[in-house]
């Protein structure tokens, strides 16, 4: 298992353990493209995970360099056509997603995750053209 996935799994397990059993089912709420942005349980889980990653702090401050580094790691394990500039993709997604607004860092984390999914999906579809 790639390091980034192992770390994310460990962070999610740690968050579930901290936040309690209600949060354990939050990952099952997800459809294949977007997380619900009005679900406090999902907000808690993603806020915790992204805070553990250092992407956002509890005051809602986003650290774009941490988001970019995480995206480079994730994108690096996705099969892409040759000559795709992973850092450029990570930069584009970071730029488009770093300023999402939310009522707190938890909801902001969910909205950023949804933005990342949407932008990655768009880039993946463009790379196939």
CATH number at residue 98: 1.10.238.20
Instruction: Kindly tell me if the per-residue pLDDT of 127 is higher than 60.
Output: no
Which residues contact residue 129 at a Cβ distance below 8 angstroms, ignoring those fewer than 6 apart?
Answer: none
The predicted-structure confidence for 17-61, as pLDDT tens digits, reads as follows 999 888 877 656 555 578 888 889 999 999 999 999 999 999 999
The domain containing residue 28 runs over which residues?
3-127
Q: Mean pLDDT over all residues of the chain?
A: 89
The predicted-structure confidence for 71-83, as pLDDT tens digits, reads as follows 999 999 988 888 8
CA 113 to chain centre: 4
Pairwise pLDDT comparison (105 vs 128), residue with the higher score: 105
- Burial profile 84-119: b = 16 or more Cβ within 10 angstroms, e = fewer: eeeeebbebbbeebbebebeebbbbbbbbbbbbbeb
Residue with tokens 């580094």: 69
126 pairs with which residues across the strands? none
Q: How many domains does the chain have?
A: 1
């Amino acid at each position: 298992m790639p390091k980034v996935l192992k770390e994310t799994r460990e962070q999610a397990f740690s968050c579930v353990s901290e936040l309690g059993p209600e949060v354990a089912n939050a990952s099952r709420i997800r459809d294949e493209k977007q997380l619900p942005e009005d679900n406090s349980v999902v907000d808690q889980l993603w806020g915790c995970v992204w805070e553990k990653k250092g992407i956002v702090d509890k005051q809602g401050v986003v650290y774009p360099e941490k988001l970019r580094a995480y995206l480079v790691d994730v994108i690096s394990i996705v099969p892409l056509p040759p000559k795709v500039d992973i850092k450029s993709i990570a930069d584009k997604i970071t730029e488009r997603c770093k300023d999402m607004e939310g009522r707190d860092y938890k909801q902001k984390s969910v909205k950023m995750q949804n933005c990342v999914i949407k932008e990655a999906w768009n880039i993946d579809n463009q790379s196939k053209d």
